[in-house]
Structures are given as structure tokens and as C-alpha cells.
Amino acid sequence: MNVSALLTSVGINTGLCAVLLLLYSILRKQPSNVNVYFGRRLASMHLTHRDPLCLERFVPSPSWMVKAWKTNEEEILGIGGMDAVVFLRIVVFSIRIFSIAFVICFLLVLPVNYYGKEQIHHKRISSEQMEVFTIENVKEGSRWLWTHCLALYIITCSACILLYYEYKSISQMRLKHITGSPINPSHFTVLVRALPWSSEESYSDSVKRFFTNYHASNYLSHQMVYRSGRVQKLMTDAEKMYMVIKAASIEQNCKPSLKQHGLCGQPADSFNILPSEDGSVSGKSVVNMDMSKSTKESAAAFVFFKTRYAAAVAAQVLQFSNPMLWVTNLAPEPHDVYWSNLCIPYKQLWIRKIGTLVATIAFMFVFLIPVTFVQGLTQLDQLQQTFPFLRGLLKKKYMSQLVTGYLPSVVLILALYIVPPVMMLFSAVEGSISRSGRKRSACCKVLYFTIWNVFFVNVFTGSVISQLNVFSSVKDIPTQLAKAVPRQVTFFTTYVLSSGWASLACEVMQIFTLFCNLFKRFVLKHKDDSSSGTLSFPYHTEVPRLLLFGFLGFTCSILAPLIVPFLWVYFVLAYFVYRNQILNVYVSKYETGGRLWPIVHNTTIFSLALSQIIALGVFGIKRSPVASGFTFPLIICTLLFNEYCRQRFLPIFKSNAAETLIEMDRKDEQSGKMEDIHRQLRAAYYQFTVASHELCKFECLSHGAQKSSPDPKNVKPGNEPR
């Protein structure tokens, strides 16, 4: 690929982004789109809007970017929670590190690459091949390869320093979030699974007997988990209706009443056990009711403890000599519970995890088909041989630039759209007990999948080493990657343009939601905005995308510096887009306390280590023993730094400190809140919506007095309150 093909892709994506961003700045001002672009604010307060017909509504303006820029981190924390702050920290970290890489690579690496061979005759920049700007253009044994090694050292050290301070800051923020946030019922609650079956007593009686025996001083109460799938709900409703009809048909002694009541003189909304003919409650009916209830109980329960510390100890300690029985974990937040997975037998979980792993690997191999097709588009010679009827069309300069510079990345992006829903399905089948856990699991799966298919598969299928013998020897992998990666950097650059810039423009436009809104308003003639505001932030798609681009930046920065400015522009635009979406669109439905950051840290360390291994292979090919010798200690130091961070910070994200929990318990006992917390705990984890008002009571107790909201009457789209 030459520079003109890259410029074609740059022009197309720049024009597309500009058009979509200008269109967004107009559409967000239209009152009919308020439920598309202000869904979070509609959910948080009763937003009203006026409909003035003025010229300002149809003039593009950067006001949304100004608002996103002026919003500080404390406001983001109050609106989107700690997870939103951590996500934006990923963007800020990427901007900082690639700003450093931008300066270093363009001052040191790019001139060495371009003038790496003295005998080469340079053409005009637009006619140059992209390989001229990569490390492939540097001759073997060149004494200028020390610049690449120096750039690698500067980028790695800068990344590690920034990672350390970010990890430290986010760890402190997590501790502050635990101690300073409203009362969380999950701190007092333990989820118990794999309850042993007994024919002599129900699951509920077993739980009560076990915890009153072994946790007598700290056990408070428990709440059973019931099988409440759709089929079970339909069967229960049918059973209730049958009992009502049967009772109405056999009841003979209904006393008259002066008021309008139900079938037998009772209030219509009451549902009591019907007496028998002699006026007494039938013992057989009571037995049937108890048996019906016991058969609906699953082998799982929420157990409530009197203090946070007692719950944490019970969650960590092995409860039974058989580790497959009485399994305990800290419960998720009430809104975070994934109820349908709580009924899965605990003994099935390891089988489910193996099954989802096999399914994920199989899906990755199936995905080789579109990736191979994409790489065929980048090779014009192979494409003309496969499809001879395209030779005349591909000889045109513009068409060849379009096919090699823009079309491959677009085809791959369209194929990748099916990956997040499939991975969410796999994560649900895996058996996660929380929605946030399911989303984190899907995030990891999408991340591994995209790195494998976008980077490794494209590298090995799109280069001359596309044979399987590349994996014949582990020691040859650095050399093979060193040969393959520079030849595929042009594809990675166009992928950043198409999947990065264009995806951000589509994200801020909310194209699918916008079309659904237009269909509802102009086809179905619905004018109600009350159904909006239900979207939660798609961490499982956006975090892997950010980390993938960071991965491409680290691995390709010293090999082909031209990718760095496009990455930097992407992260800067992402800073404004994601802040705007968090402020206006997405609703924070649950909180994980920043548990996404360890995934970010580990992926960044992996990216740095792989970039150093590839550089080691490149220096070996270019016969530079000095640069190779200095790269070895850098790899070792990077791995040691990762181990230090794993020992120092990672435990904070896995469990809560006893010191913190005991201090919080003492504070609540001294203030007299503990008794109120105990009374409301059971209602917080009620499985059915009939007790949702009880959960609201608990939330009111937790949050206390709230500040008054701004008056929504003076708010209109495009003029949100600050």
C-alpha cells in the first residue's frame, strides 16, 4: 500500500466523522430527540423541554464538547459512579502515553526509518510505499538502531510510571468509595450455594439450622432464592388461577356483605387459604402449600449478618469439609444480582466454564474465514488472480486505493459486530451471579478475541509467513513476528481510522436508537418519552476497543510511527465523546468499584512485553547485538514491575480490608443506624418486584437527605444545567 491509499482512508473517515458530528450537534437540539440524547437525565429527573422554532436549533455548535471538557471528575463520579471514572482514566492514560510516543517517535524513529537506506531514491510523499516509513527500510547492521531501542525504553518507562500512579490513585479511590459511599446491603450479605438436599427438612430450615449452629453470634436471617424462570412463573400463575376458579365453584356458604367484595365476601385483592366445610383450615391444604413452597426453593440463599466484618469472614472461610457444599461468596449489590443464574446447580459450573471455553475457541476459528477474506483484499495481485473479471476495475487508481486502503477494515469491523452479543451469551451461560460479573467476563472474552483476530491472525495470514510452520518452534516466534508486523502496520492504521474514528462518531450519534425513535414517532405515532433512559454503559464493547488500540500503539510505535498520530487523535476524540455519553445518555444501574482497572493494567503490561519481544526479534534480524542486549533487561524489569503491582494493589480489588469494615461497623453502631439496616436487609434482596417499595425504603435510608435537583422547567435540549 502506498501513502495515497492511506490518505484515501483518512479522507473518507475524516469526512464521515465530520458529517456525523455536525449532524449530532443539530439533532441533539431537536425536542423530538430528547429521549435519544438525554436518556440519563430523563431517567434521573422529569425533564421538560420547550419547542422554540429558532435558527439556533439548526446551526451546528461545539457546546456539547465544551460541556464535556468543563465537567470535573467529582461530577462524573456522582453521575456515572466509579466505573465511569475508571473508564475515563483509561482514555486519559492513553492520551498521555501516546503524546509521549508521538514526540519521541517523530523526533527519533521516523527520520531514521525514512533515511535508513542511503542508496534508495525517494519519490513524492504521496507516491511512497508505506514500507519506507517502517523499520523495514533500515539496513542491516545500521548504527542508528540505538534510536529505536532508546524510544522503546522511554515509552516503556513512561507507561510503567503512569500505570503505577494510576493504579495507586484508583486503589485509593476504591477505598474511599467503600468507606464514603451510602450503606451497601451487599456488605452484610453472603450468597450461599450448593445447599445439601434433605428429605427431612426444607432448604430454608437447613440454612437456619446451619448458621444458627456455626455462626450463632453473627447470623441475622436469610432469604431463599426461588426458581423464577418464565416457565415457572407461567405455571405458578396458572396454578393460582385454577385454585381461585375451583374455590369459587365449590364455595356454598358465602355470607352477604354491605360492601362490594370478592367471590366470597372477602376483599377482591386478598388471597387466603379457604376454610373447609366444617369451618376449620384443612391440614391437608397446609401441607400441600408447604410442599409447593419447598419444591420451588433452589439450593441457594442470601444470608444476612449483623456486621460487615462477620459477612466478609463467612464469605472467605471454608464452611464445610466438602468444598462442593455450602459454598459462600459475598453477595452482589441488589440491582446487580443476576437472578436466573442463582438457580444453576453449583456442580455444573465447572462444566459450563469448560463448555464456554471450547465454544469461544471454536468461534475464534470460525472467525478465521472473514479475517482471511479481509487480508485477501489487501493483496491486489492475489485478488486479481482469484477474480479475473475485476482486473479492469482494479487498474483504476481510485478503486485500487479504495479497495486496499478502506474496504478491508470496514469488512472486518462489520464482522466484529456480532462478537460482543455472542460473548455476552457465553458469559451468561458460564454462570455468573452478577450482571457486572457477566459484563467483565464478556469484556475479557471480547478483548482476547479481538486481539487474536485483529492482530495475530491478520499478521500471520497477511504476510509471506502464512504457513502453519510459523508455530513450529517457540524460539522463532519473535523473529517471525518481527518480519510480519511491519508489513501489516498499514492495515492496522486503516483499522484505527475505520474502527476508531468512525465508531466514535456512530457512538455519539446513537444511530440505532435514533432510527428506533424516528420509527416510533413518525410511523407508530407515539409521542411519549417516558420509556427512555434505560441504557447502561457498554463496558464489554468499549473497554476492549480502547485496549486493542493501545495494544496496536505499543506494538507498532517504534516499527511504524505513522500509526501514533491517528491513535492520539482517536483517544482525544474519545475523551469528549465518552464524557458526553456518560453525562447525558447512559444510566449507571450498578457499581463494581473500579474492578475494570486490573484488566487494563494486565493488558497494558502484556502489550509492553509483546512490543519488547517483537523489537528483540527485529534487532536480531537487523544484526544489532547492542540493541538486542539492552532489550533483555527491559523485558525482565517490565515483568518485575507487573509482579510488584499485582502484590501491592490487586488484593484491594478482590476483597475488603478488615480494618475498613470494622471501622464502618463501629461508626454505624455509634450513630444508631445498625438496627434500621438490619430491619431493611431482607427487603433489599427480595426476588420479586412486589416488594420494590421496601427496596426504595432501604435506598432512602442509605442515601439520607439528598440535595435538591435543579428545576427541570428551564431545561431544554442543548442547554442542560451545569
Residue 337 bridge partners (DSSP): 434
Q: Are 165 and 157 in contact (CB under 8 A)?
A: no
DSSP one-letter string for 196-248? PP-SSS-HHHHHHHHHHHHSTTTEEEEEEEE---HHHHHHHHHHHHHHHHHHH
Q: Is the pLDDT of residue 80 over 80?
A: yes
The predicted pLDDT at position 126 comes to 58
The sheet with strand 219-226 has its strands ordered as 219-226, 297-305, 189-193, 327-330
Residue 376 confidence (pLDDT) above 80: no
Q: What is the pTM of this model?
A: 0.82
Tell which wins on pLDDT, 337 or 46.
337
In angstroms, the CA 587 to CA 445 distance is 24
Which cell goes with 139?
539496513
Question: pLDDT band for position 516 (50/70/90)?
Answer: confident
Is residue 254 predicted with pLDDT exceeding 60?
no
Q: Is pLDDT above 90 for 536?
A: no
- Dist CA 182 CA 203 (whole Å): 32
Please choose, from the candidates 88, 98, 135, the residue with its C-alpha nearest in 3D space to the C-alpha of residue 115.
Answer: 135
Q: Is it the case that residue 302 has pLDDT exceeding 90?
A: yes
pLDDT tens-place string over residues 599-628: 999 999 999 999 999 999 888 888 888 888
Could you tell me which residues are beta bridge partners of residue 224? 301
Give me the chain's average pLDDT, please: 79
- Joined together, the cell numbers standing for residue 474 give 517457540
Per-residue pLDDT at 285: 39
- Please determine, for residue 258, whether its predicted confidence score (pLDDT) is greater than 50: no
- Per-residue pLDDT at 708 exceeds 80: no
Closest by alpha carbon to 359, among 237, 445, 455?
Answer: 445
pLDDT at 428 over 60: yes
Tell me the backbone φ, ψ of residue 17, rounded to 5 degrees.
-65, -45
Q: Which of 428, 471, 234, 193 is nearest to 328 (CA)?
A: 193
How far apart, in whole angstroms, are the C-alpha atoms of residue 71 and residue 79?
Answer: 11
Higher confidence at residue 295 or residue 172?
172
Task: Band the pLDDT of 120: cuts 50, 70, 90.
Answer: low
Residue 70: the pLDDT is: 92
Q: Is the dihedral of CA 13, 19, 22, 28 positive or negative?
A: negative
Q: What is the pLDDT of residue 38?
A: 86
Share of the chain above pLDDT 90, in %: 44
pLDDT at 468 over 50: no
Dihedral class, residue 718 (left if φ above 0, else alpha if ψ from -120 to 50, else beta): left
189 sits in which H/E element: strand 189-193
- HSE-CB of 38 using CA atoms within 13 angstroms: 28
pLDDT 10s digits, 262-277: 333 434 443 343 333 3
d(CA 491, CA 494) in angstroms, rounded, equals: 5
Instruction: For residue 245, count other CB atoms closer than 10 A to its CB.
Output: 11
Distance CA 113, CA 124 (A): 16
pLDDT at residue 705, as a whole number: 39
Residue 239: the pLDDT is: 60
User: What integer is the mean pLDDT of 417-421?
Assistant: 90
Query: Which residue stretches of 105-122 are H helix?
Result: 110-114
Q: What is the pLDDT of residue 236?
A: 57
Q: How far apart are CA 393 and CA 389, in angstroms?
A: 8
Whole-angstrom Cα distance, residue 481 to residue 456? Answer: 9
Report the distance separating Cα 460 and Cα 9, nearest Å.
23
CA geometry: angle 372, 373, 377, nearest 5 deg: 115
Rounded distance between C-alpha atoms, residue 249 and residue 243, angstroms: 10
Among candidate residues 67, 303, 238, 174, the one with its CA nearest the CA of residue 594 = 174
In sequence order, what are the beta bridge partners of 193? 300, 327
* pLDDT on residue 274: 37
Phi, psi of 102 (to 5 degrees): -60, -50
Residues 427, 429, 431, 437: what is their CA dihedral angle, to the nearest 10 degrees?
A: 20
The grid coordinates listed for 396 are: 483504476
Residue 300 parent element (H or E): strand 297-305
pLDDT value, residue 457: 82
Q: How far is CA 361 from the centre of its chain?
A: 20
The pLDDT value recorded for residue 174 is: 93
DSSP labels, 126-171: GGSBGGGGSGGGSPTT-GGGHHHHHHHHHHHHHHHHHHHHHHHHHH
Mean pLDDT for the stretch of residues 547-556: 94
Q: How far is CA 616 from CA 114, 243, 358, 611, 632, in A?
A: 21, 76, 33, 9, 8
Is residue 396 within a helix (H) or strand (E), and if so which, with residue range?
none
Q: Give me the pLDDT at residue 291, please.
A: 40
* Average pLDDT over every residue of 7-13: 83
Q: What is the pLDDT of residues 349-366, one digit of tens each?
A: 999 999 999 999 999 888
Those residues with Cβ within 8 angstroms of residue 373's Cβ, 6 or more apart along the chain or in another chain: 411
Please give the grid coordinates belonging to residue 284: 391437608
Which of 309-313, 344-348, 360-364 has the highest average model confidence (pLDDT)? 309-313
Q: Could you give the C-alpha distances from 433 to 335, 343, 478, in angstroms and in order?
A: 12, 10, 40
Among residues 164, 155, 103, the alpha carbon closest in space to that of 631 is found at: 155
Q: Which of the residue ranges 160-174, 630-644, 669-683 would you say has the lowest mean pLDDT? A: 669-683
Domain boundaries, the chain: 3-181+350-656
Residue 308 sits at the vertex; the CA angle it makes with 305 and 311, to the nearest 5 degrees, is 50
Angle of helix 539-556 versus helix 73-104 axis, rounded to 10 = 20
Whether the predicted pLDDT of 591 surpasses 50: yes
Q: Is 619 left (phi over 0), alpha (psi -120 to 50) or beta?
A: alpha
pLDDT tens digit sequence for 677-699: 998 887 888 887 543 444 444 55
Kindly state the average pLDDT of the residues 145-154. Answer: 93
How many Å apart are CA 18 and CA 502, to the nearest integer? 10
Q: Is 94 a residue whose pLDDT tops 90?
A: yes
Mean pLDDT of 486-492: 81
Please give the residue that has the higher pLDDT: either 413 or 455: 455
Q: State whether the Cα torsion 661-664-670-674 is positive or negative.
A: negative
